[in-house]
Structure 1
Amino acid sequence: MQGLIAAVNARHKAQLGFAAHVIEAPEGTALPYNVVSIVSEIATYNFTSTFERTIVQFDVYAVSKAAAIAGSEALKAAFDDCALTVPGYLFGKFERQFSQPLKDGDAWRVIVQYVVELQKA
């Protein structure tokens, strides 16, 4: 869903000062950086409309655990219960579902997942 990723990345840039890489960072990208991807999309239909329930995942990468956690806290402050404008949809919610720090090779990564609910306009 390109419209959702564009809206998420616009907010990411406005709130955090830089855009997230989409799906993966180019090889050799210097730390720290963030990656955004869509984990799943589920459409729900009723007699009058279509609803989209999408899981959006951020991966916050940094050299140290403290830096990764600080980056994830800034991300959470920017996105927890935020409202987005997605062309062609009425906004429902943007709600954090999951957050977990882990060691990833030579870097630290914090995974932060959100569920997004949109209704076709």
Structure 2
Amino acid sequence: MDQTLATSAADIYALGDCAEICGYNLMYIQPISLSARALALTLTGTITAVQFPVMPVIVKSPALAVVSWPAAKEQQGDWVYEGQGMDWLARFQSPSGQLLGFALTGKMVAQRLRLAKEMPALIA
């Protein structure tokens, strides 16, 4: 399916857990909500491509806060780690130093918005 959420069948669109958009299947509230807004505009006459910013996954656990945004499989780079105990920041960086993914635990979770802003959009 393309960025307008159009399927290969004429006048049929899809969103949600079953929809693979530009190669991504994102089963979370934020991408579904963004898709619904774009599709509503398309269905009312304004063809609108969905855009996905970086949307870190938050695991809500009382034992340990965890946030992650994995790098795409085809991306080249290395993981760099910093932290101690239960507070870790892991950055997946390209050979040129561009941030392509991250994982945070404990107190490092507070950096999720800053790191998300450093990354390129998933679908622009």
TM-score over 0.5 for the alignment? no
Greater relative contact order structure (CA < 8 Å, 6+ sep): 1
Q: TM-score, normalised by structure 2?
A: 0.28
Q: TM-score, normalised by structure 1?
A: 0.28
